[in-house]
Every structure is written in structure tokens, then in C-alpha cells.
Amino acid sequence: MKEETKIALIQLFEDWADDKVVETEILPQSGSYREYIRLVGEKRTALGAYNADKKENTAFLSFSKYFASKGLSVPEIYCENSEQDIYLLQDLGNTTLFDYILHLRVGEGFANDLIVIYKKIISQLVRFQKEGEKGLDYTVCYPRDSFDKQSMIWDLHYFKYYFLKLAKIPFDEQLLENDFQKFSDYLLDAPRDYFLYRDFQSRNIMLVNGEPWFIDYQGGRKGALQYDLASLLYDAKADLPQEVRDELLAFYLEEIQKVQEIDPKAFVSFFQGYVLIRIMQAMGAYGFRGFYERKDHFLKSIPFALKNLETILDRMDIPVELPELVKALKSVISSDFLKSVGKEDKPKLHIEINSFSYRRGIPLDKTTNGGGFVFDCRAIHNPGRYQEYVEMTGKDQPVIEFFKEQSEMDEFLSSVYSLIDMSVDKYISRNFANLQVNFGCTGGRHRSVFSAESLAKHLREKFDVNISLKHIEREIEGK
């Protein structure tokens, strides 16, 4: 985020809140070009947003105000400055549904708590779809006000040019175009007068005190009921088991039939088609962001998308023949190149161990992991109080002997090892990348240095991990 944009957002916050900003946090970007900053005041907090796309801003702000007026769980818009393309909105925290899925998975199963949450989300989805039927201003939609023929062809071409071609999947161009026309014509037969969220997936659903809240619906427009349900249930990296998808589809049919008469058999047939076009759209995005823009983390979703694609092709029963498209999709599934994309040798956990002085403050975690440990060594008998040890550090043998003979260091480190070992085991099993451990004492020379050195030695002997060891106070002193 540019400094002038940050300053403008801070000013907007202080004028709105009549409060002084005391802390800021730039939030990492995801798949969009919008930029966010968390603004923390003495009394209030908010997210500041910047987006140079004025039409997209207009859509988001208009939709937010409408859905909030209907009691749906969307962030409140506090204020905006359209000239500078900035606005303030409610801070919903950091926990997305995707984050929650990672924490609650149980082995190869799917936690019951997650199914409960998904059912809450589906009930809210029905409300979005039906409320959008009524008074939503579709004139602000961007780039189109309906998921119509043109929108579908755009998505299919997105898949063709940014996925099939970049992945070197062979196909007959004309025959594939013919199938695109037949496929989109079929999908257009589904009723399409409902609000279509467009990107209804786990990273756009926040969890606040266990309840779902919804963000990033600025691409919304009119469309079929099936599309957003397909986005939710076949979200690639959420990786829902098929039996859970089937249970949630059945639940959706129960919920929608409370407010809308539908033919379940016809609904499911169209649903399969919309699952397929949604998977293709997502794969186009992975290809554009991954192959074209070379953002590797998008490539990591491809193995999950291949699995989803194989599942839907095995189950799909729609009344239209798509021979060239199916042929190309089966080539995608069997591609050795695509199977290898996004997979890499499992990286070793990196453990950063620091000793520091409390006079200078606790070291920052620059990985944005936000986790880790800080151990206060100041309760341990301090050799720095004795003249013969003042110029030494926790790496010198006399100081090492002091800790072994005249302090509680062994007992302290035994407790530290138990805590750290438990975390390292868990971090390795869940493929986490980073863990930070900090040891602080008064001067950052004796107790903290010895503790950091001891932990590094312990971890090297017990785990296959990468360790970086830093004695901050000694580096500041140039020693």
C-alpha cells in the first residue's frame, strides 16, 4: 500500500471515529487487487480499503448497504471517500471458513462442527438469493448485471486460454467452441432471476464467534440458484468429502423449498452443469494467476481441482452431448504435468530462535505467522549480577557451569522443551512453515543466550528441521 493511501485512510478513520490511530496492520492480498489495512484506535477499530476500480467499489458499497438493511451478516460500511477510492468497513477479524476447516479436520474425516457451520452458511445463502430477487439495484453490477451467455462464454474462454493452452492440453478449437455454445445454452435454461454472489467460497466467509459473515460479493449479479452452491461445495482447497457434499446438497434442497417451489430432479441436473462451469472458471483463475502471473500458491489448488473435476465427470448426467469438452477434460485429469503442478517436496519447518533484552522489546515475527513463544528468563538466577561474569555471555563455559550448578535453569528448560516439542510435532504434521521462539532477559546476554543455544541444540538432535539462531543484543553490540 502506498504511503499516501495509508495516510488518507488514517485520516478518514480519525475523522469518522473521532479517535486517534495507535496501530496499523497491512493485510496480505489474496486473489484481488484490493488493498486492506487494519486501523486500531484508542476506542474503535476498522478496516480501511483501497480499490482503484471505481465501478467495483460502487457495486460493493451498494450491495453491502442493501444486504445489511435486510439483516444479512455483511460488514457495516462506516464511511467512504469516492474521490480517493477508499472506504472504511467493519473489521470481522482474521478467521475465514477456510482457516477453520484446517483447524477442525479430523484425520480423513470431516468434523461435525463444520457440517453445522456449513448448514448455517447454506441457510444464509438462500436468504442472499431470495433477498436479491426483490429490491437489489442491479444497475450497479460490474462487469455485467447477469450471469448470461456472454458471462459464461467469457468463463469458458478463460479456461481455454489460461488453463488448457498453458497446460498444453490438446483439443480441436472449433469442436470445443461448438461444445461451449451447446453447454452455455443448456445452462441458460435454468431459472436465473436470483442474486448470484459469484465467488461464494471458503475464503470469502468469515467466522465471528462461531457465526458466518460474508465478504467479497462485489461481483454479484442475477443468475441461477445452482452456481453459488456449486462454488461452496466444490471449493477446491476446502476439499469437502463427497458424502458431505451430498448431505449439504440435500439440506439446501430442503431450505430452498421452504421459500421457493422447485423440481429437485431438474435442480440437481442443472447443479451438475454449474459445478462443471464453476470448476472450469476456477481452473482458469489458477492458470492465469499461477502459469501466467507466476504466483505459485495458486498452482497448489490445481491438484484439488483435478480431483473435483474427476468426481463431477463420473457423476454428471445432463441432457446435452459435449464430446470435445469431455475429451479435453479427461486429458486434463490424466495429465502427468498437471498432477505434478502445485506439489513439491515437503519443506522443512523453519524454527527461528532469538535471545533478546526486554529493554529493547520482543522481536517481531516477520513471517506474518503470528504464532510462537516468548519465554521470560528473568526469574532465573542471573550470573550477570556477579562481576566475574559481566563481560561473558551464555555461550561461555564459566556461565554454562554457573547455570548447571547455581540456578533453576535445568528445570526451566525442561518445561520449555515439553511445550516446544509438542508444537513442533504438530507443526510438522500439518505442514506449517514457520515457528518463532524468543527468550528474553534483562540484558539479553546470559540467561536468554544460554536458553536459546540450549533449545537449538535440543531441536537439532530431536527433529529434522531448519533452525536459525540469533542473539539480538550481541548483534547490536557488534559481537
β-strands 86-89, 77-81: how paired?
antiparallel
Domain ranges of the chain: 3-90, 97-340, 350-471
Q: Rounded to an integer, what distance in angstroms lies between the CA atom of residue 21 and that of residue 44?
A: 9
Q: Read off the pLDDT of each residue in 116-135 and give the average, rounded to a whole number.
A: 94
All cell numbers assigned to 155:
468463463
* Region of residue 53 (phi > 0: left; psi between -120 and 50: alpha; otherwise: beta): beta
Task: Using pLDDT thresholds of 50, 70 and 90, give the confidence band for residue 133.
Answer: confident
* Region of residue 407 (phi > 0: left; psi between -120 and 50: alpha; otherwise: beta): beta
Buried b (16+ CB within 10 A) or exposed e, 447-472: bbbbbbbbbbeebeeebeeebebebb
pLDDT above 70 covers what percent of the chain? Answer: 94
Q: What is the pLDDT of residues 80-108, one digit of tens each?
A: 999 999 999 999 998 899 888 876 654 44
Q: Indicate whether 380 pLDDT > 70.
A: yes
**Beta bridge mates, 38:** 25, 47
Q: Rounded to an integer, what distance in angstroms lies between the CA atom of residue 431 and that of residue 408?
A: 35
Which helix (H) or strand (E) element contains residue 177?
helix 173-187
Q: Can you give the pLDDT at residue 393?
A: 94
Q: Rounded to an integer, what distance in angstroms lies between the CA atom of residue 38 and that of residue 203?
A: 18
Q: What is the DSSP letter of 371?
A: -
Is residue 160 within 8 A of residue 169, CB to CB? The reply is no
Q: Can you give the pLDDT at residue 106?
A: 45
**How far lies 244's CA from each of 106, 118, 195, in Å?**
14, 10, 25
Using the Cα atoms of residue 261, residue 264, residue 266 and residue 272 in order, give the sign of their dihedral: positive
- Amino acid occupying residue 252: Y
Q: Please name which of 368, 281, 286, 365 lies closest in space to residue 94, comparing C-alpha atoms.
A: 368
Q: What is the pLDDT of residues 16-52, one digit of tens each?
A: 999 999 999 888 776 677 999 999 999 999 999 999 9
Using the Cα atoms of residue 314, residue 317, residue 318 and residue 322 in order, give the sign of their dihedral: positive
Q: Which CATH class is domain 3-90?
A: alpha beta
Edge-to-edge strand list for the sheet holding 434-441? 373-376, 434-441, 350-357, 466-471
Q: Indicate whether 333 pLDDT > 70.
A: yes
Q: Please name which of 464, 157, 124 lies closest in space to residue 287, comparing C-alpha atoms.
A: 157
Task: Using pLDDT thresholds of 50, 70 and 90, give the confidence band for residue 388.
Answer: very high
Q: Do domains 3-90 and 97-340 have the same CATH topology?
A: no
**Continuous H helices in 224-345:** 225-233, 242-256, 264-286, 296-299, 302-315, 323-334, 336-340
Task: Using pLDDT thresholds of 50, 70 and 90, give the confidence band for residue 296.
Answer: confident
Q: Indicate whether 68 pLDDT > 50.
A: yes
Looking at domain 97-340, its CATH superfamily turns out to be Aminoglycoside phosphotransferase (APH), C-terminal lobe (3.90.1200.10)
**Beta bridge mates, 213:** 206
